Amino acid sequence: MTNGTPPFGRTVRIKGTGSYVPERILTNRELESIVDTTDEWIYSRTGMRERHIAADHEATSDLAAIAAQRAIENSGLTPADMDMILVCTSSPDMFFPNTACLVQKKIGAHRAFCFDMEAACSGFLYGLEVGRQFVQSSSAENVLVIGAEKISPFVNWKDRTTCVLFGDGAGAAVLQAGNGRGIMETIMGSDGLLADLLIMPGGGSRYPPTPETLKSGIHFIQMQGREVFKHAVSNMTKAALDILKHTGVSIADVKYIIPHQANARIIHAIGQRLGGRPDQVYMNVERYGNTSAASVILALDEVARGGQLEKGDLLLFVVFGAGFTWGAMLMEWDNS
Ligand code: UT7
């Protein structure tokens, strides 16, 4: 699916961002005492050194609410100004109520309507595009889009092939109409035929929790890493190239490429295939690991708060996740 800026409706920009990661840091060295692995293996294969892990008392909505408050404050607005809250997550607090309603209660955004979306690691970009549609059509003025995950309880801490990869965290963005180009183009794609390559089969209506399902461990993440790696590189590269072609923007004109932070090798491969300079490709996977739906907004919040963005800068987001789902978005930055 492709969406260019339509001939009618408003342009939509990010007015403010915020993020939060839990206090506890889990290093590669600590992982050496949990599974048969080494700091050297993890760093050389993934670029990760550490990740943050939520405390027992913290759920996804707790991380999300802090990120949301920071984003709203950064926008110069109040929670009561929010018309809509969309939480993108694969690790909701519970099946229902949705996590967005729980965030609404915590931050006091009493005017908003609230719902969740699940597109795994692609979630935040999918959420931005959904939020954009509401603002562009004037169905909402201020839309809070959150990417948040407490993925650590769904990781099998006995499986070295997955447990070293993931971390918890949350990020949020407030969308508003703007005067510039804002979100210029979005491309999204999915392939359900490859669903089994990255899956958490248990706990839902297919395999509801029973003593047997718990024993067999099907309520943990299962991934065929090498296969996922190949699809991640090819789909993200294609989505990014397509978006540049449609918009006529050259990679040299993009300030930052912000890819989903799953693996430094994937990120480098995409940067090279797009012909980007190393300093254009933003990477923080070393400090957070793979935070799934939180990953690109954690990165954007870092860039924005680091004072590295000016009005008019072009940002290229590119994501990939279970489903498979993938996407790319080109945006002109303007939070003035
Ligand atoms: O966020 C959604 C999208 N997710 C991704 O994009 C993740 C994509 N996949 C990857 O990032 C990589 O495939 C991994 C990081 C998961 C794995 O890296 P790899 O270079 O593809 O390694 P591999 O799976 O081919 O395994 C190579 C070897 C194996 O040993 P043998 O069979 O060659 O003897 C594994 O058993 O490395 C072994 N291995 C480990 N060794 C030490 C796997 N995990 C570990 C580990 N520590 N943690």
Q: Right CATH number for 184-332 from 3.40.47.10, 3.40.50.740, 1.20.120.720, 3.90.230.10?
A: 3.40.47.10
Q: Which helix (H) or strand (E) is 143 found in, with range?
A: strand 143-149
Q: Which residue has the tokens 């005492």?
A: 33
* Cβ–Cβ under 8 Å, residues 321 and 199: no
Instruction: Identify the residue whose C-alpha is closest to ligand 1 atom 45.
Output: 161
Looking at residue 217, what DSSP letter applies?
T
Q: Considering only CA atoms, which residue is closest to atom 44 of ligand 1?
A: 161
Is there a catalytic annotation at residue 114?
no
Alpha carbon dihedral 146, 119, 156, 99, in 10-degree steps, equals 40
Nearest CA to ligand 1 atom 2: 321
CB of 162 within 6 A of ligand 1: the answer is: no
Ligand 1 centroid–CA 128 distance in Å is: 31
The arrangement of secondary structure in 2-180, i.e. its CATH architecture, is 3-Layer(aba) Sandwich (3.40)
**CB of 121 closer than 6 A to ligand 1?**
yes
Domain boundaries of the chain, sorted by first residue: 2-180, 184-332
In testing the pocket of ligand 1, which one of 45, 156, 223, 231 has its CB within 8 Å of the most ligand atoms? 45
Q: Cα separation of 56 and 316, whole Å? A: 35
Print pLDDT tens along the chain (336 aa): 556 555 567 999 999 999 999 999 999 999 999 999 999 999 999 999 999 999 999 999 999 999 999 999 999 999 999 999 999 999 999 999 999 999 999 999 999 999 999 999 999 999 999 999 999 999 999 999 999 999 999 999 999 999 999 999 999 999 999 999 999 999 999 999 999 999 999 999 999 999 999 999 999 999 999 999 999 999 999 999 999 999 999 999 999 999 999 999 999 999 999 999 999 999 999 999 999 999 999 999 999 999 999 999 999 999 999 999 999 999 999 999
Q: What is the DSSP string of 263-296?
A: -HHHHHHHHHHHT--GGGB---HHHH-B-GGGHH
CA gap 118, 204 in Å, rounded: 14
Q: What are the structure tokens assigned to 99, written together?
A: 């996590």
Instruction: Answer yes or no: same fold for 2-180 and 184-332.
Output: yes
300 class by beta-carbon count within 10 Å (0-12 exposed, 13-18 middle, 19+ buried): buried
Backbone angles phi, psi at 11, to 5 degrees: -85, 155
